[in-house]
């Protein structure tokens, strides 16, 4: 096929099937961005952030006493739900990893002075937002699903047969599924918010930290205000209820209960709404590296 | 100014960065061929190019490329290639991927994109080093790989911001030859450059800018004619310089006729080049003086730049 024929063919295809062109552009963007996100030396801290609990649990398993009792298993289940998952993964690990991954998608390109290449390509800016968001989502979800699964495995592996029974013949697998679902939704929700923040602010770190504060204190606000936080929806999907007294009480939200489908739907709606906002914001963005 | 489907049109375009002026009330239309944007640093050349490609938005006015705007990116960037001045690249990329992946965004399949990538690399003289990381390239190689990316999808409009910067003389000559070849194929080539001699050699027309304003625009000779406060300089090589000089002095519009050191050339400064040409014809036909060569001495970009903008870069 001659060059002219190839050019004409691509043009015809794009004109006749714009949605297929957009889809193929999203695939290309995801491929290039995921490679850049996952295989960059600058991203080592995100790997560390994801696997810190697994490393600690591994050390505890190697050097600690093997746990055997059902009572200890119950304590470990609560500790995993409260400390490892809700406190560490949801409030720290996933939050800050998403901050690093999603704010870097556009703002990082501004810092590296490479965003103009994207803006000079035949890609609608909305498609650019969707492509980059999906790339960030794939990166963070892949990383944290593996990290949560590894931590979950290490929590119960020290119990030997009691642990295996709990996981495979008891509620264990169901809980793992719920944790993975919450992880996925957390990555999508936080990711969308951080993507929008990176388009709103030249330095999204400060509003990011403020968001972290909001996520922490939102439970003390009225129910309608709580619905504006990502953790509100995630809490209702966590499989292990935290006791309302004792040290674990700090991870407990006192709010009206929300059905799982509403929590999932609410978070997805929040994600879509923030992405739509990002699509508006991206049209305002100009390449002025010198002032950035 | 209405958008023409064959032209690049700037319609009363202004750009302000807060209170700082980028460009002000720019209106012109560009035809096919090579157009040079000339002006001192900070005159608004890059701003104009960034406005044209949608990297920044005009505060006022509109810009059309063949009736399209950057708000229609799929159609627009199929027509436009922009080699910016930003010397930065996606981290870890190599020369081949730098061209290949943007082509995939155009909707080309793997085979077509690979073919176009190799073709662009060949044209820019980068095929041998395509698999090396861009981070290891010299400045000239980085310049050429950006050029290769800008031409890879066969655009109709090629915009080049200081494309000769960092190139050695050989690469510079090759790049200029490439620009000329692309213009001959019917492409719009818009170049900003500080290297006036080379711009002068290849440009069909020029846009002179100073402090955000377009000082003059058009074909170089036409622009030169418009600069009336500076008489045109014509160099005549002839058999009898003294006789020609005295004949020239009799004309009102001739302000100076200087015999040069070789004794066979006269540099005439005249306010009416056409009348002077008639005089020359008369002298030649009368057999008084034999004329070997006549050449305008200051209808080049450099002279126009000096006359209109001044050596210090400020407007006259």
Q: Cβ distance B25 to B297 under 8 Å?
A: no
Contact partners, residue A279, CB within 8 Å, separation at least 6: A125, A126, A129
Instruction: Check if the beta carbon of residue B233 is closer than 8 Å to that of residue B297.
Output: yes
CB contact under 8 A, B56 and A21: no
B145 in helix, strand or coil?
A: helix
Q: Give the list of residues 6+ apart from residue B211 with CB closer than 8 angstroms, or none.
A: B21, B42, B43, B44, B314, B315
Residue recorded with tokens 């170089």 = B220
Rounded to two decimals, the pTM is 0.85
**Cα–Cα distance for residue pair A84/A150, rounded to 1 Å:** 12
Q: Which helix (H) or strand (E) holds A275?
A: helix A260-284
pLDDT per residue as tens digits for the range B155-183:
999 999 999 887 888 888 888 898 999 99
**C-alpha to C-alpha distance for A4 and A15, rounded to whole angstroms:** 16
Segment B144-148 long-range contacts (CB within 8 Å, at least 24 positions apart) = B144/B171, B144/B175, B145/B95, B145/B98, B145/B99, B146/B83, B146/B84, B147/B83, B147/B175, B147/B178, B148/B95, B148/B99, B148/B120, B148/B121, B148/B123, B148/B124
Domain B8-222: which CATH class?
A: alpha beta
The reply to whether residue B86 touches residue A289, judged by beta carbons under 8 angstroms, is yes
Per-residue model confidence (pLDDT) at position A198: 94
Q: What is the pLDDT of residue A233?
A: 83
pLDDT-based confidence at residue A84 (cuts at 50, 70, 90): very high
State the burial class of residue B293 (Cβ atoms within 10 Å of its Cβ: 0-12, 13-18, 19+).
Answer: exposed
Question: Dihedral of CA A70/A71/A72/A77: which sign?
Answer: positive
Structure confidence at residue A220 (pLDDT): 77
Residues paired with residue B13 on neighbouring β-strands, in sequence order: B26
Q: Which tokens is B298 given?
A: 């200051």
For the stretch B61-107, pLDDT in tens is 999 999 999 999 999 999 999 999 999 999 989 999 999 999 999 99
Q: Give the separation between CA A117 and CA B160, rounded to whole angstroms.
A: 14
A137: tokens are: 């989502």
Mind listing the pLDDT tens digit for each residue in B115-164? Answer: 999 999 999 999 999 999 999 999 889 999 999 999 999 999 999 999 98
Q: Is the pLDDT of residue B312 over 60?
A: no
Given a cut of 70, is residue A152 above it in pLDDT?
Answer: yes
pLDDT for res B130? 96
Establish if A116 touches chain B: CB-CB under 8 angstroms. Answer: yes
Residue bearing tokens 């961005």:
A33
**Contacts of residue B104 in chain A, CB cutoff 8 Å?**
24, 28
More confident: A250 or A117: A117
Q: What is the ipTM of this complex?
A: 0.84
Radius of gyration, alpha carbons of chain B: 23
Q: For residue B239, report the phi and psi dihedrals to the nearest 5 degrees.
A: -80, -25
The shortest C-alpha distance from A25 to chain B (Å) reads 5
- Mutate one of B15, B57, B74, B110 to test the A interface: name it (highest A CB count within 10 A): B74
- The average pLDDT across B181-192 equals 92
Sheet strand arrangement including B80-83:
B80-83, B157-161, B188-192, B33-38, B205-210, B213-219
A287 contacts chain B (CB < 8 A): yes
Quote the minimal CA–CA distance from B32 to chain A in Å. Answer: 20
SS3 content of chain B, % helix, strand, coil (to 5): 40, 30, 35
* Residues paired with residue B208 on neighbouring β-strands, in sequence order: B38, B216
Asked if residue A150 has pLDDT above 90, the reply is yes
Q: Hey, is B12 helix, strand or coil? A: strand
Token pair of B175 as six digits: 């790049």
B313 in helix, strand or coil? coil
Output the pLDDT for position B251. Answer: 80
Q: How far separated are the first and last CA of chain A, in Å rounded?
A: 45
Query: How far apart (Å, rounded) are the C-alpha atoms in residues A184 and B199?
Result: 56
Look over chain A and give the mean of its residue pLDDT values, rounded to a whole number.
87
Integer Rg of chain A from CA: 22
Which residues, at least 6 apart from A75, have a Cβ–Cβ distance to it below 8 Å? none
Q: Write the DSSP string, B166-195.
A: T--HHHHHHHHHHHHHHHHTT-EEEEE-S-
User: Which residues have a Cβ under 8 Å from the Cβ of B313 and sit 6 or more positions away?
Assistant: B39, B40, B41, B43, B210
Among A233, A226, A109, A231, residue whose Cα is nearest residue B93 = A109
**Residue B60 contacts by C-beta under 8 Å, 6 or more apart in sequence?**
B12, B13, B14
pLDDT digits 0-9 by tens, A85-94: 988 999 899 9
Verify whether the Cβ–Cβ distance B105 to A114 is below 8 Å: no
Average pLDDT score over residue span B201-208: 87
pLDDT at site A117: 96
Instruction: Find chain B residues with C-beta within 8 A of A3's C-beta.
Output: 115-116, 119, 154
Give B192-227 as a DSSP string.
Answer: E-S-HHHHHHH-SEEEEEETTEEEEEEEHHHHHHH-
| Distances from the Cα of B184 to the Cα of A257, A291, B95, B156, angstroms | 72, 39, 27, 12
Q: Averaged over A11-20, what is the pLDDT?
A: 82
Residue B218 — very low, low, confident or very high, per pLDDT cuts 50/70/90?
confident
Mean local confidence (pLDDT), A125-148:
96
* CATH level 3 topology of B231-297: Alpha-Beta Plaits (3.30.70)
User: How many angstroms from the chain centroid is the CA of residue B151?
Assistant: 17
Average pLDDT over residues B6-10: 88
Taking a C-beta distance cutoff of 8 angstroms, is the pair A220, A183 a contact? no
Question: Contact A24/B56, CB-based, under 8 Å?
Answer: no
Q: pLDDT per residue over B30-58, tens digit each?
A: 988 999 998 888 889 999 999 999 999 99
Q: Could you please report the per-residue DSSP string of A184-212?
A: HHHHHHHHHHHHHHHHH-SSTHHHHHHHH
- What residues have CB less than 8 Å from A20, skipping those under 6 apart? A13
**CA gap B273, B253 in Å, rounded:** 9
Output the six-digit token pair for B33.
Answer: 């061929």
Residue B76 has a pLDDT of: 95
Task: Report whether pLDDT(A12) > 90.
Answer: no
Q: Considering only CB atoms, which chain B residues are within 8 Å of A113?
A: 86, 88
Rounded Cα gap, residues A281 and A283, in angstroms:
5
Chain B partners within 8 Å of A36 (Cβ) = 90-92
Q: Is the pLDDT of residue B224 over 80?
A: no
pLDDT tops 60 at residue A253: no
How far does the CA of residue B179 sit from the closest CA of chain A (Å)? 19
State how far Cα B255 lies from the chain centre: 31
Convert B22-84 into a string of H (helix), E (strand) and C (coil): EEEEEEEEECCEEEEEECCCCCCHHHHHHHHCCCCCCCEEEEEECCECCCCHHHHHHHEEEEC
Task: Give the model's pLDDT for residue B315.
Answer: 40
How many helices (H) and strands (E) would you count in chain A? Answer: 14, 0
Structure tokens at A146: 């593996």
Helix (H) or strand (E) holding B113: helix B110-123
What are the domain boundaries of chain B?
8-222, 231-297
Nearest by CB to residue A28, choosing from B50, B101, B115, is B101
């Amino acid at each position: 096929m001659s060059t002219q024929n190839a050019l004409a063919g691509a043009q015809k295809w794009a004109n006749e099937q714009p949605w297929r062109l957009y889809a193929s552009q999203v695939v290309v963007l995801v491929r290039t961005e995921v490679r850049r996100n996952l295989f960059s030396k600058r991203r080592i801290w995100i790997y560390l952030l994801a696997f810190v609990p697994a490393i600690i649990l591994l050390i505890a398993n190697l050097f600690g006493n093997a746990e055997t009792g059902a009572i200890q298993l119950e304590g470990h289940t609560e500790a995993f739900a409260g400390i490892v998952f809700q406190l560490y993964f949801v409030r720290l690990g996933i939050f800050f990893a998403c901050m690093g991954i999603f704010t870097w998608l556009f703002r990082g390109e501004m810092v590296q002075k490479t965003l103009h290449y994207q803006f000079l390509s035949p890609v609608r800016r909305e498609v650019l937002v969707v492509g980059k968001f999906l790339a960030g989502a794939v990166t963070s979800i892949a990383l944290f699903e593996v990290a949560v699964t590894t931590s979950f495995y290490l929590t119960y592996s020290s119990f030997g047969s009691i642990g295996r029974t709990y996981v495979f013949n008891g509620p264990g697998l169901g809980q793992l599924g719920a944790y993975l679902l919450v992880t996925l939704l957390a990555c999508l929700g936080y990711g969308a918010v951080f993507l929008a923040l990176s388009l709103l602010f030249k330095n999204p770190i400060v509003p990011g930290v403020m968001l972290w504060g909001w996520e922490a204190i939102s439970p003390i606000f009225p129910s309608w205000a709580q619905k504006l936080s990502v953790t509100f929806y995630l809490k209702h999907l966590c499989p292990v209820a935290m006791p309302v007294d004792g040290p674990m009480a700090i991870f407990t939200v006192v709010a009206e209960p929300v059905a799982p489908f509403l929590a999932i739907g609410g978070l997805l709606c929040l994600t879509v709404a923030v992405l739509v906002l990002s699509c508006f914001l991206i049209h305002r963005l100009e390449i002025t590296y010198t002032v950035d | 100014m209405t958008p023409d489907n064959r032209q690049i049109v700037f319609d009363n375009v202004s750009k302000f960065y807060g209170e700082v002026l980028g460009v002000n009330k720019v209106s012109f239309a560009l035809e096919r061929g090579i157009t040079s944007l000339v002006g001192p640093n900070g005159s608004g050349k890059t701003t104009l190019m960034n406005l044209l490609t949608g990297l920044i938005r005009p505060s006022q006015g509109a810009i059309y490329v063949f009736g399209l705007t950057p708000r229609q990116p799929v159609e627009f960037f199929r027509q436009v290639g922009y080699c910016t001045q930003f010397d930065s690249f996606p981290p870890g990329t190599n020369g081949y991927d730098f061209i290949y992946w943007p082509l995939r965004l155009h909707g080309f399949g793997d085979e077509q994109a690979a073919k176009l990538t190799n073709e662009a690399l060949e044209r820019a003289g980068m095929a041998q080093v395509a698999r090396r990381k861009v981070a290891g390239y010299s400045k000239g190689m980085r310049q050429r790989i950006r050029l290769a990316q800008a031409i890879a999808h066969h655009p109709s409009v090629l915009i080049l911001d200081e494309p000769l910067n960092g190139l050695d003389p050989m690469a510079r000559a090759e790049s200029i030859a490439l620009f000329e070849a692309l213009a001959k194929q019917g492409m719009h080539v818009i170049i900003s450059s500080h290297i006036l001699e080379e711009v002068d050699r290849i440009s069909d027309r020029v846009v002179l800018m100073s402090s955000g304003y377009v000082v003059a625009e058009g074909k170089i000779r036409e622009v030169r004619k418009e600069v009336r406060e500076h008489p045109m300089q014509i160099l005549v090589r002839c058999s009898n310089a003294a006789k020609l000089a005295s004949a020239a002095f009799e004309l009102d519009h001739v302000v100076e006729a200087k015999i040069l050191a070789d004794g066979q050339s006269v540099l005439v400064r005249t306010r009416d080049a056409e009348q002077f040409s008639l005089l020359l014809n008369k002298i030649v036909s009368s057999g008084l003086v034999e004329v070997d060569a006549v050449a305008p001495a200051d209808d080049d970009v450099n002279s126009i730049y000096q006359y209109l903008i001044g050596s210090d870069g400020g407007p006259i």
